[in-house]
Amino acid sequence: MPPVKRLILDADRCTSCLQCEMACSLHHEGLFAPAFSRIKVFEFEHGARNIPYTCTQCDEAWCLHACPTSAISINAGLGTKVVDEALCVGCKVCTIACPYGTINYNTRSGKVVKCDLCDGDPACADICPTDAIRYALPGTEGTVLSPAANEEQAASTASTKGTEASPGASI
């Protein structure tokens, strides 16, 4: 099976604008309501650090194995774990089984909800103005650098320009 795209979350780029939460709730619920979003932005240190967070589509998939009605299955094409609302009874066992807390109970539907990558076109990644959320193949994380990493890379490049490494030295 070829590698599948994943959400790549870069906390260094997140400004806590919450556009990802709004886009997610609009896509899935038809309204702007962060409470119904499948992605959340957590603020730490009084807003000095913002971290977007959602289902990582983990290989272990404890939620899938815990579901007593088999309402969670794997979308083979995307590798996502998806909830079938017709089979979900809202028992919340999967929310307890998920070690990351990324499955939530939806009070409007009485069912659980989790990120499904918007069927391969994640609204959160499309709307993110700072590229804190990207939808890409694993291993491409380094292509978008954080501001701090950009400065470090620039300083490193400037210090090595015009010099040659001595034998046995690594750059």
Same topology for domains 1-54+119-158 and 56-114, yes or no?
A: yes
Percent of the chain predicted with pLDDT > 90: 70
The pTM of the whole model exceeds 0.85 = no
Structure confidence by residue, pLDDT tens digits, 61-104: 999 999 999 999 999 999 999 999 999 999 999 999 999 999 99
- Token pair belonging to 36: 């119904």
Is pLDDT of 162 > 70?
no
Average pLDDT score over residue span 101-113: 96
Cα dist. 37→40, 59, 65, 92, 146 in Å? 7, 23, 24, 17, 25
* Check whether domain 1-54+119-158 has CATH 3.40.1390.20, yes or no: no
pLDDT band at 141 (very low <50, low <70, confident <90, very high): low
Q: Average pLDDT over the chain, rounded to whole?
A: 84
Beta bridge mates, 6? 136
Please report, for the chain, the start and end positions of each structural domain, with discontinuous segments joined by +. Answer: 1-54+119-158, 56-114
- Closest Cα to residue 103, out of 59, 6, 37? 37
Please give the CATH topology (third level) of the domain spanning 56-114. Answer: Alpha-Beta Plaits (3.30.70)
